[in-house]
Amino acid sequence: MLFLSRLSVSRGVNRSIPCRGLCAELRCQGVTPEVMAICPKLMESSDNGAMKTLRIATRKSPLALWQTEHVAALLKAQHPQLEIQLVPLSTRGDELLDRSLAAIGGKGLFLKELELAMLRDEADCAVHSLKDVPMELEPGFVMPAIIARGSHADAWVSNHFDSIAALPAGARVGTSSLRRRAQLQALRQDLRIDDLRGNVNSRLAKLDAGEYQAILLACAGLERLGFASRIRARLEAPEWLPAPAQGAIAVECREDAADVQALFAALDDANTRVCVSAERAMNRALDGSCHVPVAALAGLDGDMLHLQGLVGDAHTGVQVRAEARAPRQAAEALGQQVAAALLAQGAGDFIRA
């Protein structure tokens, strides 16, 4: 099926109109006479309806560009004739660096401009770090592919100290995450934990300038940008839990863009999708966001799914934990089960704080 994704309709926002060579149907859709006139030509040259060019919206940060180029390379391997164009965009989340994400509206700020570009027909899809994607997508959008997950672990990065325990009292640690702050507070309440925003390169530069004695980042981001050597220690489960879906890359597109969804079908990793579905279901049931220190990690042992969850207090380090197992087909229910167990232990007090 050919979609006229580059052509405008005469009302509202640009939309992809399915073209079946039925001009009467197109007229009912409100398509302009000019579009109707060239419709048969498009059908004749459509190469069985395959898309010729795909425009991928992305943030401009080095990590976002790496991830988008990675997805583009995987897609190109599946569709060698497809031309791929990157559409780099600046988001409010990237621009407002003087305040915490919780203070400026949350991680959804990283998606808004990219979604608007898709609605304006300036891009066909977008690539995101899945941990930055809100638990509920905006109406009219879907995630046709979740790429095989990278490292889920957090990275301890320091030029002088091998571990959290090695830091002197009062040492300054940088992180933009309430989740990391809560887990760090649980281990060391004598540390000074300050907000740290910006891309990976700028955060490392602040560490190297001596502004911090250590910083916390995601291992996946450091590895993707060639900074694996900066990882002094990996903070791993069960002692330390990551953000829900950390290390996973997601593709988002419009729900009516069936051609785009078909292109990405082969890139969807079933095991990664089932794990992050459980993690995100737990977070959704908790009404979690960047305003709440929530951590989750799911793993597969054969067809059994194991989910660990945590909710904490970023100021005191007090936290509650829960875990459970279920068949992989019950990922959503497992997430809800672990969320219920956390709430039964008082997680709601942290969420409402």
pLDDT digits (tens, 9 = 90+) for 244-284: 999 999 999 999 999 999 999 999 999 999 999 999 999 99
Structure confidence at residue 92 (pLDDT): 62
Using CA atoms, how far residue 192 sits from 98, 128, 150, 180, 213, in Å, is 18, 31, 30, 13, 10
Mean pLDDT of 199-226: 97
When pLDDT is cut at 50, 70 and 90, the band that residue 94 belongs to is low
Which residue in 94, 121, 132, 154 is the catalytic one?
A: 132
When pLDDT is cut at 50, 70 and 90, the band that residue 129 belongs to is very high
pTM of the model: 0.82
**Which of these, 17, 11, 13, lies nearest to 38 by C-alpha position?**
17
Mean pLDDT of 56-80: 97
Residue 100 main-chain phi, psi, to 5 deg = -70, 160
Reply yes or no on whether the pLDDT at 33 is more than 50.
Answer: no
CB 243 within 8 A of CB 276: no
Structure confidence at residue 197 (pLDDT): 84
- Nearest 10 degrees: Cα torsion 238, 193, 59, 226: -60
How large is the angle between the packed helices 62-78 and 200-208, nearest 10 degrees? 140
Mean pLDDT of 198-209: 95
Contacts of 140 (CB under 8 A, 6+ apart): 119, 254, 255, 256
Reply yes or no on whether the pLDDT at 338 is more than 50.
Answer: yes
Residue 194 annotated to the active site: no
Reply yes or no on whether the pLDDT at 15 is more than 60.
Answer: no
